[in-house]
Chain A
Amino acid sequence: NAGVMQNPRHLVRRRGQEARLRCSPMKGHSHVYWYRQLPEEGLKFMVYLQKENIIDESGMPKERFSAEFPKEGPSILRIQQVVRGDSAAYFCASSPPSTGLYGYTFGSGTRLTVV
């Protein structure tokens, strides 16, 4: 039973390029959450998705960031025209529908470096 799989583990992009981060949830988990961890800070919520639906995107920056969780395939967090301030660790978590009782399972993260 594989855990939450994120790839790539490390991603280097030049300023202005696009970054695509992938997350495959655990088997049986239909809810996906993306969090961002800036240096020396805790995790900040970005977006909550279910299959083909964005449920809560209140933590997403208004521009350049988008997320999707298609019917088939992994969830994708896309950052367009990256800037140095986007350098961070991005974590995906998945959960069964009754999240409050069971909590999350986190992936190992994608560490994005913008040069």
Chain B
Amino acid sequence: AQSVTQLDSQVPVFEEAPVELRCNYSSSVSVYLFWYVQYPNQGLQLLLKYLSGSTLVKGINGFEAEFNKSQTSFHLRKPSVHISDTAEYFCAVTPQGSTLGRLYFGRGTQLTVWP
């Protein structure tokens, strides 16, 4: 079974500050990892994904994430945030090789960027 833990439910930061949103997962098999962003009253948009290769993954809007297999983590970072980054961020995993394609989500982290 898979589970995802997002350690912070809310992260407030000031504009232009760096931010890290933490994600840890538990799985008995290798997984693919994803970060999604949800703006108010909208659906989820894919920020980035880790499938294989380099453990540092770059996504849209200046975000990046680093896969750490030994720590089973996939933390999301941005060196300088904008007010427009205010949104809910979800970490998700899916087992490699699964034919079911089901995503397991964390509970989400609300990022609020203040001016």
Contact = CB atoms under 8 A, between A and B. Distances in A.
Contacts, number: 66
A106 B90 CA distance: 13
Contacts of A91: 43-44
Interface in B60-112: 90, 94, 96-98, 100-108
Give the size range of B's interface with the partner: 20 to 34
Interface string B30-43: 00101010000111
Interface of A is mostly: strand
A97 B90 CA distance: 23
Nearest to B48: A103
Interface residues of A, number: 29
Interface of B: 4, 6, 32, 34, 36, 41-46, 49, 51, 90, 94, 96-98, 100-108
